[in-house]
Structure 1
Amino acid sequence: MPIDAARALAAEPRTAEISWTPRDVLLYHLGIGAGLPATDPGELRYTLETRLHVLPSFATVAGGGSPGVIRGLSMPGVDVDLAHVLHGGQSLTVHRPVPVAGTATATSRIAAVYDKGTAAVLVMRTEVADGDGPLWTDDAEIFVRGEGGWGGDRGPSARPAAPAGEPDRTVERTVREDQALLYRLSGDRNPLHADPDFAGRAGFERPILHGLCTYGMTLKAVVDTLLGGDVNRGRSCTTRFAGVVYPGETLRIRMWRREGRVHVTVGAVERGDAPVLTGMIVDHG
């Protein structure tokens, strides 16, 4: 069996030193669509080094190395075809504001392996700390088609539903045609997002946008719309990747404000609001 759950869970954590600079933060922000309009003071917080604030989701690419999905596939007990892999979900908790530049230690391990019958789900957990203590904890859910069925734990199935009633805010964000090509420069070089032939082998009509790019675009929309543009108010952001986004499409982002929490759903406008992100929750202060 390509996934040996017991071996994956028992494997020693892997530790690496990561570092980042303002240039990395600026590139990430541009990759998730910041900078439009280019002279807007709200956008300059993301694109000008003298005013730079770090969106918490930058933590998912800090250090410029392989994202959690790719790291998870290199762990002991995991041997699968990359073309069968999708990013199923993401959870990020920041323990304090992400600095504009830094050096830290990242410790990664497989925290859970779930048997979904026709697929397996791996949870790759990465905990990052610097000399002042914990910075963030990042969980990437790795969905592997065709690798389930060994009778293991199915894992949690309940997902938070969007609140009843009309959303408090709805905004639309356009995905540029070249956005996946720009976003991949922050570290995720999976050919699924750039190579048409590889995307075809994986069952897609053309390269798709990185799920974490949609995640970052959505978190930015929440911060800018409901959190007064204050990136430091966001404490955690959890979501399920319910569908793909193709570069050039438009995201419709619906937000429901609750005490200390924002519920979010995202759909692809051109495909009849086909779900893209569901069960997204942003906890804030």
Structure 2
Amino acid sequence: MPIDADRAVAAEPRSTEIRWDSKDVQLYHLGLGAGVPATDPDELRYTLESRLHVLPSFATVAGAGRGAVGGLNGPGLDIDLASVLHGGQSVRVHRPIPVAGSAVSTSRIAAVHDKGKAAVLVLRTEVADDEGPLWTSDSQIFVRGEGGFGGERGPSARTELPSRDADKTVEKAVREDQALLYRLCGDLNPLHADPEFAARAGFDRPILHGLCSYGMTLKAVVDTLLGGDVGRVRSYTTRFAGVVFPGESLRIRMWADSPEPGRVQVSVTAVERDDAPVLADTIVEHV
């Protein structure tokens, strides 16, 4: 059987050293659409090295994502990457991410869930530098056709949005070239750049990286509800519910203090496709 859940979870964690600097951070922010207007003081915090701060979702690309390399081909796993989908993502930051640094990234399979027609791997990555833990991230990876092995189904609860109108709603345009820029952060999957490859995958044109929508959404929440202070973010969780095509716009609805202080619920949809879902079960916890 391609997935041996017990063996995968029991496997030794894999560690690697990762490094990043201000240029990596600036490229990431630009890949999310930061810097418009270019002279806006609020945007310069994302683009100008002398004022730079780091959006916590940068954790998903730090070290060009090398901290998670090999996580899907470890013991107990024999997976066809063509059957893999990124189902969800969470990041918990233990302290602000420095503009430049080096750290040890340790990854392991934290859980394997049996969804019947698919298996869900939870790939957990913990990153620490000489001063201690920096962040912990969980990637939920759906592997189509690999369920039915008799394992636990795992959590399936959905987060209901408040019945009231959103406290804030913003629309963010996705540039035609945004995926081409974002992929330079490390995810060079041709699905996001090559029309012929996208067609073979069933799309009429390349799609935007889910983690790009993820970062764009966190930036919108920080800028709109958290006073532009990235240091207030404690954790950020989402489920990828649909695709985005470059050239479209994201409609980002936010409910503050929902259902309690320090918690923002978010809904993200594609404006041009009648609010087709993009991100769901999305929560930002903050101080």
| TM-score of the superposed pair, with normalisation by structure 1 | 0.96
Q: Deviations over 1:14-60 (max 9, x none)?
A: 00011100000000000111011111111000000011011011111
Partner of 1:43: 43
Find the aligned partners of 2:107 and 2:191 in 1 and give their Cα distance.
Answer: 24
| 2:267 counterpart (265, 268, 276) | 265
Find the aligned partners of 2:200 and 2:136 in 1 and give their Cα distance.
Answer: 33
Partner of 1:4: 4
Partner of 1:194: 193
Is contact 2:67–2:107 with CA below 8 Å preserved after alignment? no
Cα gap change, 1:158 to 1:187, in 2 (>3 Å) = same
Find the aligned partners of 2:249 and 2:201 in 1 and give their Cα distance.
Answer: 23
Matches for 1:1-285 after TM superposition, within 5 Å: 1-66=1-66, 68=68, 71-258=70-257, 259-285=261-287
SS of equivalent residue, structure 1 residue 139: strand
Is contact 2:73–2:79 with CA below 8 Å preserved after alignment? no
Find the aligned partners of 1:216 and 1:160 in 2 and give their Cα distance.
Answer: 20
> What one-letter code is carried by the residue in structure 2 that aligns with 1:189?
L
Find the aligned partners of 2:193 and 2:76 in 1 and give their Cα distance.
Answer: 28
SS of equivalent residue, structure 2 residue 218: helix
Find the aligned partners of 1:250 and 1:275 in 2 and give their Cα distance.
Answer: 12
Is contact 2:191–2:198 with CA below 8 Å preserved after alignment? yes
SS of equivalent residue, structure 2 residue 23: helix
Find the aligned partners of 1:59 and 1:245 in 2 and give their Cα distance.
Answer: 22
Is contact 2:238–2:281 with CA below 8 Å preserved after alignment? yes
Q: Flag structure 1 segments of 5+ consecutive residues without an equivalent.
A: none
Is contact 1:84–1:202 with CA below 8 Å preserved after alignment? no
In the alignment of these two chains, the number of paired residues is: 284
State the percentage of identical aligned residues.
Answer: 74
Q: Flag structure 2 segments of 5+ consecutive residues without an equivalent.
A: none
Shift of 1:136: 0.3
> What one-letter code is carried by the residue in structure 2 that aligns with 1:149?
G
Find the aligned partners of 1:241 and 1:125 in 2 and give their Cα distance.
Answer: 17
SS of equivalent residue, structure 2 residue 71: helix
Cα gap change, 1:202 to 1:81, in 2 (>3 Å) = farther
Find the aligned partners of 1:192 and 1:6 in 2 and give their Cα distance.
Answer: 32
Q: Deviations over 1:114-150 (max 9, x none)?
A: 1111111101000000111000000000111222122
Find the aligned partners of 1:198 and 1:121 in 2 and give their Cα distance.
Answer: 25
Is contact 2:107–2:123 with CA below 8 Å preserved after alignment? yes
Is contact 1:44–1:51 with CA below 8 Å preserved after alignment? yes
Cα gap change, 1:265 to 1:284, in 2 (>3 Å) = same
Shift of 1:209: 0.9
> What one-letter code is carried by the residue in structure 2 that aligns with 1:232?
G
Shift of 1:63: 0.9
Cα gap change, 1:144 to 1:204, in 2 (>3 Å) = farther
Find the aligned partners of 1:206 and 1:24 in 2 and give their Cα distance.
Answer: 27
Shift of 1:67: 7.0
Find the aligned partners of 1:165 and 1:38 in 2 and give their Cα distance.
Answer: 35
Q: Deviations over 1:253-285 (max 9, x none)?
A: 000001101000100011110111011000000
Shift of 1:80: 2.1
Aligned CA RMSD, in angstroms, stands at 1.2
SS of equivalent residue, structure 1 residue 165: coil
Find the aligned partners of 2:172 and 2:146 in 1 and give their Cα distance.
Answer: 35
Find the aligned partners of 2:255 and 2:56 in 1 and give their Cα distance.
Answer: 20
Is contact 1:54–1:231 with CA below 8 Å preserved after alignment? yes
Cα gap change, 1:271 to 1:280, in 2 (>3 Å) = same
> What one-letter code is carried by the residue in structure 2 that aligns with 1:270?
E
Find the aligned partners of 2:247 and 2:50 in 1 and give their Cα distance.
Answer: 31
| TM-score of the superposed pair, with normalisation by structure 2 | 0.96
